[in-house]
């Protein structure tokens, strides 16, 4: 099968163009693909302890074949490590291995590794190139596309960061085979989100193959379609002034639930699934969501995947929203669906949501 390609063209202060390449087994070619873009002679692979063990060897081999000097920085896996200490570790390895402005960082892992490597690349010597090799479904369809990088601080998630686009994204669907099932399902939640927001046909693909006939599910096609959908939004609204806000569908309530449950109890995608159902129900209540059938449809799709669709019993949603309220203004932008493929952002009063 051929490599699937999604071109991303961002008109910004500095125009940014890059490709997303998708193919089962493409990791073996990583060296050749990276060599074409590398201006210097060194790369630092940033990965975590789980992904590094599984896939770093393959990439190192492929890079060394091209005479690229490779060093590896291994971070501890998990959201709890997406912090300034992790960034210090990356800077330490960049300095120890003498990476110059012409050299490159390669992010190999999920969204945590991608966000941290991107931030280190944005700030090392005022910005060097980096390449994303995402290995979770969420990272393939969401975090590796769009140029947002960053870390968490004690005061909140993703509060420190920068916009810094990769020079290339390499997606090898073979790496998703080792992904724990729960992580895979959490990634599916973002795919359903993209489908509900922008593409009813993609929703049908999920219903007809993933839900009912898994053998027919064409992972590479779904990855490509999602990258196209997300990159289209990023291209028209890189700095999240308007359309990019649509991508926050399900996130307002999802975020509150995630916060109050404590990070790691519910995966992000699970919280977003609950948040999407809330947003549809709320939209119906306010008369914004005109097609009431989408509620049942979305519930079926998400629960068939194995995602939660209602708030866990031990979570008091009102309290969760009240807690979050302290952190935001009284009126917030809330993403509703008028219908499938018709998102709309409305300002709503948090007290009304409560
Ligand atoms: N930059 C953005 O636009 C953006 C968008 C969405 C989410 N994010 C960020 O992404 C992060 C979440 O990313 P995530 O869900 O990928 O989590 P993650 O990076 O923590 O990965 C989840 C777990 O899966 C393991 N893993 C990764 N790939 C694997 C594989 N192929 N096989 C086996 N195990 C594997 C990791 O070691 C980790 O333990 C959050 O920090 C979030 O803020 C960023």
Could you report the per-residue pLDDT of 77-93, keeping only the tens digit for each? Answer: 999 999 999 999 999 99
Domain boundaries, the chain: 4-178, 183-353
Q: Which of 314, 200, 337 is nearest to 257 (CA)?
A: 314
Which pLDDT score is estimated for 14? 73
Which pLDDT score is estimated for 263? 65
Does residue 148 have its Cβ closer than 6 Å to ligand 1?
yes
Which pLDDT score is estimated for 302? 97
Tens of pLDDT, residues 255-302:
889 888 876 689 999 999 999 999 999 999 999 999 999 999 999 999
DSSP label at 207? I
Which pLDDT score is estimated for 262? 75
The set of residues, in sequence order, having a beta carbon less than 8 Å from that of 296 and lying 6+ positions away, is none
- Ligand 1 mutation target, pool 10, 27, 109, 185, most atoms within 8 A of CB: 109
Tens of pLDDT, residues 33-64:
999 999 999 999 999 999 999 999 999 999 99
Which pLDDT score is estimated for 325? 64
User: Position of tokens 């990965």?
Assistant: 47
Does residue 202 have its Cβ closer than 6 Å to ligand 1?
no
Atom of ligand 1 lying closest to residue 48 CA: 37
If the chain, 354 residues long, is cut into consecutive pieces of 10 residues, what is the mean pLDDT of each piece? 92 83 97 98 98 98 98 96 97 98 98 98 98 98 95 87 96 97 97 98 93 84 97 90 94 88 84 97 97 97 96 87 70 94 94 88
CA of 31 to the centre of ligand 1 (A): 23
Fold assignment, 4-178? Rossmann fold (3.40.50)
Q: Which of 69, 1, 7, 2 is nearest to 234 (CA)?
A: 7
Query: Ligand 1 atom 20: the closest Cα is on which residue?
Result: 78
Q: Which two tokens stand for residue 154?
A: 């004690």
What whole-number distance in Å separates Cα of residue 139 and Cα of residue 112?
A: 9
Identical fold at 4-178 and 183-353? no
Does residue 175 have its Cβ closer than 6 Å to ligand 1?
yes
pTM of the predicted protein model: 0.95
Superfamily classification of domain 183-353:
Dehydroquinate synthase-like - alpha domain (1.20.1090.10)
What whole-number distance in Å separates Cα of residue 23 and Cα of residue 26?
A: 5
CA of 112 to the centre of ligand 1 (A): 5
What is the distance in angstroms between the CA of the first residue and the CA of the last residue of the chain? 51
* Number of residues that this document lists for the chain: 354
Which pLDDT score is estimated for 25? 96
């Amino acid at each position: 099968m051929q490599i699937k390609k999604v071109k991303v063209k961002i008109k910004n202060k500095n125009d940014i163009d890059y490709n997303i390449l998708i193919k089962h087994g493409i990791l073996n070619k990583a060296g050749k693909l990276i060599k074409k873009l590398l201006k210097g002679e060194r790369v630092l692979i940033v990965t975590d302890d789980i992904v590094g063990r599984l896939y770093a060897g393959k990439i190192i081999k492929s890079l060394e074949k091209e005479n690229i000097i490779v060093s590896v920085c291994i971070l501890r896996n998990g959201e709890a490590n997406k912090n300034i200490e992790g960034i210090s570790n990356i800077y330490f390895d960049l300095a120890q291995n003498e990476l110059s402005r012409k050299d490159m960082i390669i992010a190999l892992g999920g969204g945590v590794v991608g966000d941290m490597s991107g931030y280190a690349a944005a700030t090392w010597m005022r910005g060097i190139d980096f390449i994303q090799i995402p290995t979770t479904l969420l990272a393939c369809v969401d975090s590796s596309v769009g140029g947002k990088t960053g870390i968490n601080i004690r005061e909140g998630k993703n509060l420190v960061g920068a916009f810094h686009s990769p020079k290339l994204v390499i997606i090898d669907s073979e790496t998703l085979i080792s992904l724990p099932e729960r992580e895979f399902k959490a990634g599916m939640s973002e795919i359903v989100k993209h489908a509900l927001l922008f593409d009813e046909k993609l929703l049908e693909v999920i219903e007809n193959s993933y839900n009912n006939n898994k053998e027919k599910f064409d992972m590479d096609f779904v990855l490509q379609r999602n990258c196209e959908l997300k990159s289209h939004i990023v291209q028209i609204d890189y700095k999240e002034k308007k359309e990019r806000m649509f991508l926050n569908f399900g996130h307002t309530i999802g975020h509150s639930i995630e916060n109050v449950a404590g990070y790691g109890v519910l995966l992000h995608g699970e919280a977003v699934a609950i948040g999407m159902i809330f947003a549809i129900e709320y939209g119906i209540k306010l008369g914004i969501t005109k097609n009431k059938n989408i509620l049942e449809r979305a519930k079926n799709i998400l629960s068939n995947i194995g995602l939660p669709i209602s708030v866990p019993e031990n979570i008091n949603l009102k309290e969760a929203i009240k807690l979050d309220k302290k952190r935001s203004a009284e009126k917030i932008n809330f993403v509703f669906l008028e219908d499938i493929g018709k998102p709309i952002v409305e300002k709503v009063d948090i007290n009304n949501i409560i």
